[in-house]
Homo-oligomer: A and B are copies of this chain.
Amino acid sequence: MESLPLAFWLDLLGTFVFGISGALVAVRRGLDIFGIAVLSVAAGLAGGMIRDMLLGATPPTALEDPRYLLTSLAAGVCVFFGHRLLDRLNKPVMVLDALGLGVFAVSGCHKSLVFGLDPLPAILLGVLTAVGGGAVRDLFVAEIPRVLREEVYALAAMVGAAIVVAGGALGLADGWTAAAGVVGAFAVRVISVWRDWRAPRAPGS
């Protein structure tokens, strides 16, 4: 993957923050150290694996490069020893989840464009990559995934992915476009929670 250094670092960052979010959920559920490891690996790697399986980029980078596994396990170890510190921060799972959401939306969309997908499907796969890890994490503890419960979640991922598509169409540098996409998705998600944005429901529902 030397030709995709940007995607590599984005993936690794997303793997770490989703790994943290998975491990925090595991600690709150009272799971043991192995349950923590399973949920940090599942939350950290599932989004990228789904992306790569759908692109036909197999084996997924998360399996070809041991650094992904080690990164998600490192996230689990950090939470095992440091969860009390993380819990003192306000809504840590939400903020980390928002960061992972932005990072994976950008990396998923970016890699889809590299693999020749059209803009709309590339945005879709960016969203899928972004919500995949969290959905697996939530399904494993029998919760309705955040992507359905939260008002502005898939939309935030869509914003991040759309910025990547727009930046590519405008010929901007990949690095700046990626940064803008991550910041855009993260901002939309965090502000929506902070300001308690409400999305419309079906009339009469």
In this complex, what residue of B is CB-closest to A45?
B124
Bound Cα distance from A140 to B146, whole angstroms? 10
Chain B residue with Cβ nearest A79: B202
Question: Given that A41-B124, A203-B81 are known contacts, is A118 also in contact with B54, CB under 8 Å in the complex?
Answer: no
Q: How distant is A43 from chain B, measured CB to nearest CB, in Å?
A: 12
List A145-177 residues whose CB lies under 8 Å from chain B: 145, 147-149, 151-155
- Minimal beta-carbon separation of A84 from chain B (angstroms): 5
- Bitwise, A61-92 to B at CB < 8 A (1) or not (0) is 01111100110000000011101100000000
B199 touches A66 (CB 8 A): no
Contacts A115-B59, A147-B38 given: A121-B64 contact, CB under 8 Å? yes
Contact A30 B201 (CB under 8 A): yes
Q: Provided the pairs A34-B199, A63-B121 are in contact, do residues A84 and B152 lie with their beta carbons within 8 angstroms?
A: no
Interface residue A49 (Cβ < 8 Å from any Cβ of B): yes
Residue of B nearest to A72 (CB): B124
Are B27 and A202 in contact, with the CB atoms below 8 A? yes
Contact B69 A120 (CB under 8 A): yes
A7 at the A/B interface (Cβ < 8 Å)? no
9 CB < 8 A contacts A-B: A34-B152, A35-B149, A36-B202, A56-B56, A56-B58, A64-B121, A65-B121, A83-B204, A83-B205
Instruction: Mark A residues whose CB is within 8 Å of B.
Output: 26-39, 41, 49, 53-56, 58-60, 62-66, 69-70, 79-81, 83-84, 112, 115, 117-118, 120-121, 124-125, 131, 135, 139-145, 147-149, 151-155, 198-205
